[in-house]
C-alpha cells in the first residue's frame, strides 16, 4: 500500500514516476544507460544483478519485476532463486559467481569489501569497466529498493510479469514516454 496519500493505495512505481516526473526522468535515463548501454555484461546479466540485489534486500517488488525481466532476456526460470539459495551450486556461468559474491557483499556489508574481492572478479576474466558496471547496477538497486520500500510500493505477481515484459520490450527509455509532457 502506497504511503503517498495523493496516489491510489495500490499505486505501482510507474504512478510514483508519473507523480514526480522531474526526478523520474533523470532516474530512468540513468537506468537506461546502466542497464541497457554498452557493457561486458548482457542485458539479462545486468537484470540478474538487479534481481539478486533486490532479493538480498527483501524488496519483493523489484525482485519480482527484475526476475521477470532477466528471464525475458533469456535467463532460465528459477536461476535467480537458485543464486539466492546457494550461489556456489546455482546453474549460472562460473564467471558470474565472483561478480554476484561481490555484489552480495557490497549490499550486505559494504565497508568489508577488500581488494581481494575485486581481484576475484578480475581473476574470473572481467576487467575494471565490468566491475564498474556491476557496482553501478548494485548501487542503483540498493537505492531503488529503499525508494520502493520507503514509499510503500507493492505489486502482485501479475504486475511483475507485465512490468518485466514492458522493461524487456521498451527498456527504461520506454518508461519516460509514459511520464507525459516534459516538465
What would the pLDDT profile of 18-59 be if each residue is shown by its tens digit?
Answer: 999 999 999 999 999 999 999 999 999 999 999 999 999 999
| CA gap 83, 157 in Å, rounded | 20
Q: Cell numbers 539479462 correspond to what residue? A: 44
Start-to-end CA distance of the chain, whole Å, equals 27
Categorise residue 41: left if φ over 0, alpha if ψ from -120 to 50, beta otherwise. Answer: beta
| CA gap 143, 149 in Å, rounded | 10
Q: Which residues contact 36 (CB under 8 A, 6 or more apart)?
A: 43, 171, 172, 173
At 118 the pLDDT is: 98
What would the pLDDT profile of 65-116 be if each residue is shown by its tens digit?
Answer: 999 999 999 999 999 999 999 999 999 999 999 999 999 999 999 999 999 9
Cell numbers found for residue 169: 520490450
| CA gap 59, 67 in Å, rounded | 12
| CA gap 146, 89 in Å, rounded | 29
**Does residue 134 register a pLDDT over 50?**
yes
Residue 73 buriedness (CB in 10 A; 0-12 / 13-18 / 19+): middle
Q: Cell numbers 561481490 correspond to what residue? A: 102
Find the mean pLDDT for residues 138-160.
96
Find the mean pLDDT for residues 3-27.
93
| CA gap 15, 56 in Å, rounded | 25
Q: Cell numbers 526460470 correspond to what residue? A: 77
> Mind listing the domains of the chain with CATH numbers?
40-173 (1.20.1290.10)
Find the mean pLDDT for residues 159-177.
93
At 119 the pLDDT is: 98
Specify the higher pLDDT residue, 10 or 55. 55
Amino acid at each position: 500500500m502506497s504511503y503517498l496519500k495523493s496516489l491510489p493505495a495500490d499505486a505501482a512505481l510507474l504512478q510514483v514516476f508519473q507523480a514526480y516526473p522531474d526526478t523520474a526522468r533523470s532516474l530512468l535515463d540513468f537506468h537506461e544507460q546502466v542497464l541497457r548501454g554498452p557493457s561486458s555484461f548482457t542485458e539479462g546479466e545486468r537484470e540478474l544483478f538487479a534481481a539478486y540485489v533486490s532479493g538480498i534486500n527483501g524488496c519483493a517488488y523489484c525482485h519480482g519485476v527484475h526476475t521477470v525481466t532477466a528471464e525475458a532476456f533469456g535467463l532460465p526460470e528459477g536461476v535467480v532463486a537458485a543464486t539466492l539459495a546457494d550461489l556456489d551450486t546455482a546453474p549460472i556461468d562460473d564467471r558470474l559467481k565472483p561478480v554476484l559474491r561481490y555484489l552480495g557483499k557490497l549490499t550486505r556489508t559494504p565497508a568489508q569489501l577488500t581488494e581481494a574481492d575485486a581481484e576475484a572478479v578480475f581473476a574470473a576474466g572481467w576487467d575494471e569497466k565490468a566491475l564498474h558496471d556491476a557496482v553501478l547496477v548494485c548501487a542503483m538497486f540498493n537505492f531503488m529498493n529503499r525508494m520502493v520500500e520507503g514509499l510503500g510500493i507493492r505489486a502482485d505477481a501479475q504486475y511483475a510479469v507485465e512490468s518485466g515484459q514492458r522493461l524487456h520490450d521498451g527498456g527504461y527509455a520506454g518508461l519516460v514516454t509514459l511520464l507525459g509532457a516534459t516538465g
